[in-house]
A and B are shown apart, each in its own frame.
Chain A
Amino acid sequence: MSDASPSLDALPCGVVSFTDDGRIVAVNRPLAELLGHAADDLVGRHVETLLTVGGRIFFQTHLYPILRLHGVASEMFVLLRHSDGTDRAALMNAVRHERDTGAVVDCVLMEVRERRKFEDALLRARREAEDANRAKSEFLANMSHELRTPLNAIGGYVQLIELGIHGPVTDAQREALARVTRSQRLLLRLVNDVLNLARVESGRIEYSAEPVVLDTLVDSVLQMVEPQMATARVTHEVIAPPGLVAVADREKLEQILLNLLSNAVKFTPAGGVITVIVEPDPDGRHVLVRVRDTGIGIASGKLESVFEPFVQVGASDAPHREGTGLGLAISRDLARGMGGELTAVSERARGSTFTIRLPSAGVPER
């Protein structure tokens, strides 16, 4: 090693020391040989000259700030430049020491050839996976859109026939048309769910955050599900102190709450109670909206999977519930999109509680 202990020359890795302004003060022989230089030629040069041009930009924008702010950089990938103009990939560990004469960075470098090939394969695989996933989401979004057009046409023409516009309709025909309409609506809802999921997954949802007064919002959403509740003979109660305000996208929050309430109605037997509770999070920076039911519940092992797309837990042993199983996946994505979270706790045969956690509108302590 030039200007340093000769034993460093025996190490199976490159060693280089440089000052804060980048001047090389010592370099060992293995590193000099890796780069096609004599060690003595490198001392006094700027450390950037050991790097490719892209590597130099990385040094200035990432490595130097990390060394200056943290004093240590571990397992950093760098591209070194050989004197013949080709590059050498290396992993680098570096430590910055303050000394009386100024700061010095000591650096160990190991060439990585096999690992680089492995990383190439990983990078390629990751990009392919990302591309495939994006293509899938786009396909779903487009496909769902294409499916809606004929479904709407079916609905429209059935209505025209029902109205007798194309001639008199018999009772039997009317009943058949009602069945067509029901199926058409169900199918349309499924398609809309898929479309929503595809939109969320492809990141095409825009959020507009605003202060939302929660007790008012809960009331208005409950009004929407009251007919459903009446049919299912399920009652509800609300525990919402006035004045709790969340920062959220009002429409998205309504969508989540509507989904949770519809689910609660679907999975709660007649005579059950659905409770909506609004309360501040103990952390002081969030608010919680809970929807609790006295329904069939979810086994603890299956709790997380209800948030997976296309999963309907309990569908095998419970009466069939219609839907795509996308509602909760979409709701969780939406909650997260607003800087919040959607979680669940449940007990088989006792009921479930779904909790929406959202940023509170109070000024957080920073």
Chain B
Amino acid sequence: MPVDIIVRNNVRVSGRGSQPMLFAHGFGCDQHMWRFIAPAFEADYRVVMFDYVGAGHSDLGAYDAERYSTLDGYAQDVLDVVHALDLRDVIFVGHSVSSMIGILAANREPARFARLILIGPSPRYVNDPPRYVGGFERADIEGLLETMDRNYIGWANFLAPAIMKNPDRPELGAELTESFCSTDPVIARRFAEATFFADNRSDLPKVTVPALVLQCADDMIAPDVVGEYVHRAMPASTLRRMQATGHCPHMSAPEETIALMREYLAGLATA
């Protein structure tokens, strides 16, 4: 039911255009991460942002451990939003793990999607020797999980209640809940496992929707060889290497990100 999905996924719609541009955030954050680039597209597109169930201001009560134990459950969130707003001709913009989530969604209902813009995609984070380099060993991911556990145990479970009981400084509580994009440690951990232990290599050749791959320099999460792999495995893809370094060019280099997206989309208009 549409109303339900809008609330469940904290869907926000803005912009004056008609073609929908659907922004899907990555692991560890929520739709706030788009705030440096999304406004640039409001003049020409119908900008749609949302939080996956379990992230940001989504309805945590709608969380289903089984559904969200794989990226398919998250892809269903994308399709639920698409159907709730009856979006067609969608330009999907996904960061990091949302690139694969968008691919899964587009493979299930290709007719709904016009283009995919994938920022820092990786179909598999863990190395699969001898032929595939993802950049990580399983032990590295365990290290991430430990760091997450400790931060959540420190923040969410102990500090947050203490701060919430500090009525003379309510801004502390607000800041805290805003800061932690994923509020529930169990959900965050399961999302991390679904993300970093996924293997979506076989989904890439099935993509029929044209895609832009934005590859940062020195991205340790999705290294250059992975971007190259994604590009080669997806027949209708364009690979653009960025000046921006790191894994979050939409936050560290919004101008360059916007320019490359515009250039790609303008190419479509004239083609």
Residues of A that sit less than 8 Å from B by CB: 20-22, 46, 48, 52-58, 60-62, 64-66, 68-70, 72-73, 75-79, 87, 89, 116, 119, 122-123, 126, 203, 209-211, 247, 336-339, 359, 361, 363-364, 366
Contact = CB atoms under 8 A, between A and B. Distances in A.
A60 B61 contact: no
B4 A209 contact: yes
B83 interface: no
Interface in B44-74: 59, 61, 65
B147 A64 contact: no
A79 B3 contact: no
A126 B153 contact: yes
A206 to B, nearest CB: 8
Contact of B147 (A78, A211, A366): A78
Interface in B223-260: 244-248, 251-252
Contacts of A76: 151
Interface in B145-159: 145-151, 153-155, 157, 159
Nearest to A81: B143
A119 B143 contact: no
8 contacts: A53-B140, A56-B220, A64-B248, A68-B251, A70-B179, A89-B150, A338-B61, A364-B3
Contacts of B150: 77, 89, 116, 119, 123
Contacts of A209: 1, 4
B251 A64 contact: yes
B146 A65 contact: no
Given A53-B136, A77-B154, A247 B3 contact: yes
Contacts of A57: 136, 140-141, 143-144, 196, 220-221
A21 B252 contact: yes
Contacts of B175: 70, 72
Given A66-B179, A364-B7, A61 B246 contact: no
Nearest to A130: B186
A161 to B, nearest CB: 45
Interface string B18-29: 000000001111
B1 A211 contact: yes
A61 B251 contact: no
B104 interface: no
Interface residues of B, number: 52
Interface of B: 1, 3-4, 6-7, 11-12, 26-29, 32-33, 35, 59, 61, 65, 96, 136-137, 140-151, 153-155, 157, 159, 175, 178-179, 181, 196, 218, 220-221, 244-248, 251-252
Given A54-B145, A69-B33, A366-B12, A62 B140 contact: no
Nearest to A337: B61
Contacts of B151: 58, 62, 76-77
Nearest to A66: B179
Contact of B246 (A60, A62, A363, A366): A60
A77 B151 CA distance: 5
A65 B33 contact: yes
A43 to B, nearest CB: 17
B143 A55 contact: yes
The 9 A-B pairs with the shortest beta carbon distances in the complex, nearest first, are A54-B143, A61-B28, A53-B140, A54-B144, A77-B150, A60-B247, A58-B147, A57-B144, A68-B251
Given A70-B175, A79-B143, 12 more contacts: A54-B143, A60-B220, A61-B26, A61-B27, A61-B28, A68-B252, A77-B150, A77-B154, A122-B153, A209-B4, A210-B1, A366-B11
Nearest to A126: B153
A21 B220 contact: no
A127 to B, nearest CB: 10
Contacts of B144: 54-55, 57-58
A52 B148 CA distance: 13
A348 B178 CA distance: 43
B44 to A, nearest CB: 23
Given A69-B33, A75-B155, A364-B7, A58 B248 contact: no
Contact of A54 (B1, B4, B141, B247): B141
B153 A21 contact: no
Given A68-B252, A78-B147, A363 B3 contact: yes
B153 A339 contact: no
A58 B148 contact: yes
B251 A77 contact: no
B3 A366 contact: no
A74 to B, nearest CB: 8
A69 B28 CA distance: 13
A128 B184 CA distance: 18
A299 to B, nearest CB: 27
Contacts of A69: 29, 32-33, 35, 251
Contacts of B154: 75, 77, 119
A298 B244 CA distance: 64
Given A60-B246, A203-B65, A364-B7, A79 B26 contact: no
A79 B155 CA distance: 16
Given A57-B140, A68-B248, A70-B175, A79 B147 contact: yes
Contacts of B147: 54-55, 58, 77-79
A363 B1 CA distance: 12
